[in-house]
Structure 1
Amino acid sequence: MDIRVALDEDWPRIYPFYSAIMAEGRTYAFPEGQSPEEARPWWMERPPGRTVVAVDGETVLGSAKMGPNRPGRGAHIGTASFLVDPAHRGRGVGRALGREMIEWSRGQGFRGIQFNAVVEVNAPAVHLWKSLGFEVVGTVPEAFDHPEEGLVGLHVMYRRL
């Protein structure tokens, strides 16, 4: 598996699993049913952020977007979002993308990384981020409408760099 900056021609290979993950409704509060053109700006970051892909040959296994959490006086803290194609889960793609994001964020001079909305019942994600040094610094109760669990909390997770 290689991780590289996403190119424009990668979007048609990212969009199918982006769309499928949004339709599942278990991890992101992004709009569902977006066309490729509507979804593109939600995922393909512009500088100072960036979007990367994890690839195995020509196959895109997953993607991550990263950059400053807030502009101006909040720009010293990074943030990121991750997608792993459901067909390729369990292969370490999320962990590899997470490590890449941490190293990139450190290289960009961020002081820390804040995830604004990790669904508290998304046990694999919470476990992964804790194993990579993140901690839950707060939980917004009932902030996410999960399709099976109903109203659940969103964790704010943080890792100092």
Structure 2
Amino acid sequence: MTIRLATEADWPAIWPFWREIVEAGETYAYPLGATSDQARGWWFDGSRVVVLEDDGRILGSAKMGPNRPGRGAHVGTASFMVDAAARGRGVGRRLGEHVVQWHRDEGFAAIQFNAVVETNTAAVRLWEQLGFRVLATVPEAFDSTTHGRVGLHLMHLDLS
């Protein structure tokens, strides 16, 4: 498995799992029913985007960069998408480790995840294993298809 910078030419391989994840309504607050062009614009929004591929097949993608511009740019953030067919193979962990190292290498002071759905227990567990802490949970801030309104965790990793 290798991680490399994504290009717009990778979008046709990312789009199917991006759409499946968003349409499931369990982990991302992107609008349902987005077109491929809309979704590509949100994913390739100027952030650094990478893909993880194995034998030429893209299994996941992450985007990363400053959480806020200007005086908040010393704190990074990231988003992750992993193809359902590749779950359980360490794709999310590899992407997470890559993102943490990239932020360290770029001199960020911390990483902040603004909205980790509390019922996404696999992601919460992974981020905690990588050193993130839940700082707060906004109650009923996410409308899960399965669970109804659930909390969103604000998670933080100090890189100093």
TM over 0.5: yes
1:39-93 deviation per Cα after TM superposition (whole angstroms, max 9, x unaligned): 11111142xx300000012200000000000001110000000000011100000
1:155 pairs with one of 120, 144, 153:
153
> Could you tell me how far apart the structure 2 residues matched to 1:13 and 1:34 are?
16
Corresponding position of 2:68:
70
> Could you tell me how far apart the structure 1 residues matched to 2:33 and 2:83 are?
17
Corresponding position of 1:81:
79
The TM-score, its normalising length taken from structure 1, stands at: 0.97
Following TM superposition, the consecutive aligned residue runs of length 4 or more in structure 1 with deviations greater than 2 angstroms are none
> Could you tell me how far apart the structure 2 residues matched to 1:152 and 1:43 are?
24
Corresponding position of 1:53:
51
1:142 pairs with one of 115, 140, 143:
140
What amino acid is the match of 1:37? D
What amino acid is the match of 2:18? Y
Provide the aligned length of Structure 1 versus Structure 2: 159
Corresponding position of 1:26:
26
Q: Is the 8 A contact 1:45 1:66 kept in 2?
A: no
Q: Is the 8 A contact 1:45 1:51 kept in 2?
A: no
What amino acid is the match of 1:8? E
Q: Secondary structure at the match of 2:108?
A: coil
Percent identity between the two aligned chains: 58
RMSD after superposition: 0.7
> Could you tell me how far apart the structure 2 residues matched to 1:4 and 1:45 are?
17
- Work out whether 1:124 is the aligned partner of 2:150: no
Q: Secondary structure at the match of 1:26?
A: coil
Corresponding position of 1:93:
91
The TM-score, its normalising length taken from structure 2, stands at: 0.98
Q: What stretches of structure 2 of length at least 5 have no aligned partner? A: none
> Could you tell me how far apart the structure 2 residues matched to 1:45 and 1:100 are?
19
Cα drift, residue 104 of structure 1: 0.5
Q: Secondary structure at the match of 1:38?
A: helix
